[in-house]
Amino acid sequence: MTWLAFRCILGGIFVYAGCEKIGNPEAFADGITAYQVLPLRAVPPIALGLPYFEIVAGGLLITGWQRRASALSIMLLSGIFLLAVGQALARGLNIDCGCFGSDEPSRWKLLIAMGRDALLMAAAFILYRTEEG
Amino acid sequence: MQVRSKLARDLSIVVLLAAISVAAGLAINSLRNRPSPVPQVDRGGLPPVLETGSSGVILSLKEFRALVEGRQGWVVDARPAASYQEGHVPGAVSLPRDDFAARYADVKSKFEEDKSRLIIVYCSGYYCKDSSTVRKNLADLGYTNIFIFKRGWPAWQEAGLPEERTK
């Protein structure tokens, strides 16, 4: 039962994050571009697809179908976000995290986002390890 | 099953899910009434690309300047009215994000003569979002040829290009 609650919280965060981005792909594309990591050509498909991926991965984790794959998806996504935010901070970029839709640029919020991504990644890792597939 | 092969299987499902998500995102976007013109808008995101310019996409400072000086299309300033008054790109029309409806009414008649005329929107630089919002507002009104000059006002100023002021 506690595992179910754990899955619902983690999955819920991702579903929420995806929903916040899905309605405004342009703002999200701006957000991704601001990280200055990806070639610009790669930005549009990611801006359009990533919100769906977040919702699918979070949704699957909640329903419990394919829970190993969904936990792994969330772990990988959190890891990628962690790296993206980390490199932005290291390069001194003052940008909007874009984690949950668009917001004001802030290095403080980026630091918080890094901590949050690390926690999410750890949580997904624990879930992945506890699930027997 | 071996841990490694389990991981490989899980990873392949992850890749499949990601691929389906991207395909769904692209498909749903293209089915929308006005597909998001993300590819054109975001070409200009990074300075190196902006400087070299690319494949006819209007976004480098050089290209933007040529369009402004050639009076080709409307140049729209999406910053607040006060910033516009202090200085703006010559010939730019002020359509502040927060006062869009009221200010649009002033220019409506001349803008509506040709909804496919080129419109370039700028705001206060690379990280500002006002241009995107105004671009969306204009697209919703049926304008079809809208671009964003991502580097915006700071790039214009830094280049020491002529400024226009309103009293």
Q: What's the DSSP call for residue A34? A: H
* pLDDT score of B2 more than 80: no
Distances (CA, A) of B144 to A78, B44, B119, B136: 37, 18, 9, 11
Q: Is A106 on the interface with B (CB under 8 A)?
A: no
The interface pTM score, or ipTM, of the predicted complex is: 0.90
The span from the CA of B123 to the CA of B15, in Å, is: 38
The span from the CA of B18 to the CA of A46, in Å, is: 10
Looking at residue B45, its pLDDT comes to 35
- Residue holding tokens 């690390």? A118
Instruction: Give the residue among B165, B99, B88 at the shortest CA–CA distance from B121.
Output: B88
The token pair that represents B56 in the structure block = 């006819």
Q: Do B136 and A29 touch (CB under 8 A)?
A: no
| B77: β partners | B94, B122
Task: Please say whether the dihedral angle defined by the alpha carbons of residues B133, B137, B138 and B140, taken in this order, is positive or negative.
Answer: positive
Looking at residue B37, its pLDDT comes to 43
Q: What are phi and psi of B76, to 5 degrees?
A: -115, 130
CB pairs under 8 A between A and B: 103
Looking at residue B48, its pLDDT comes to 28
Confidence category of residue A54, pLDDT binned at 50, 70, 90: very high
Confidence category of residue B152, pLDDT binned at 50, 70, 90: confident
Q: Do B18 and A73 touch (CB under 8 A)?
A: yes
CA A2 to chain centre: 23
* pLDDT score of B54 more than 70: no
Q: Nearest C-alpha of chain B: how many angstroms from A128?
A: 10
E strands along chain B, which residues? 74-77, 93-94, 119-122, 146-148
Confidence category of residue B33, pLDDT binned at 50, 70, 90: low
* pLDDT score of B165 more than 70: yes
- Residue with more model confidence, A76 or A38: A76
Looking at residue B41, its pLDDT comes to 39
The span from the CA of B48 to the CA of A5, in Å, is: 47
Percentage above 70 pLDDT, chain A: 96
- Residue with more model confidence, A26 or B68: B68
Q: How do residues A2-48 score in pLDDT, each as one tens digit?
A: 889 999 999 999 999 999 998 877 778 778 877 878 876 677 788 88
Helix, strand, or coil (residue B131): helix
Burial class of B100 by CB neighbour count within 10 A (0 to 12, 13 to 18, 19+): middle
Return the half-sphere exposure (C-beta side, CA atoms, 13 A cut-off) of residue B19.
Answer: 6
Confidence category of residue A90, pLDDT binned at 50, 70, 90: very high
Q: Nearest C-alpha of chain A: how many angstroms from B22?
A: 4
- If you average pLDDT over residues A101-109, what whole number do you get? 82
Give A52's contacts (C-beta < 8 A, 6+ positions apart): A18, A22, B21, B22, B24, B25
Looking at residue B44, its pLDDT comes to 37
Minimal-distance CA residue of chain A relative to B28: A48
Confidence category of residue B17, pLDDT binned at 50, 70, 90: very high
The span from the CA of B92 to the CA of B146, in Å, is: 14
- Residue with more model confidence, A1 or A2: A2
Q: Nearest C-alpha of chain B: how many angstroms from A2?
A: 24
The span from the CA of A5 to the CA of A2, in Å, is: 5
- If you average pLDDT over residues A97-108, what whole number do you get? 83
Asked if A50 contacts A68 with a C-beta cutoff of 8 angstroms, the reply is no
* Mean confidence (pLDDT) of chain B: 79
Report the predicted TM-score, pTM, of the whole model to 2 decimal places.
0.66
CA angle A33, A37, A43 (to 5 degrees): 45
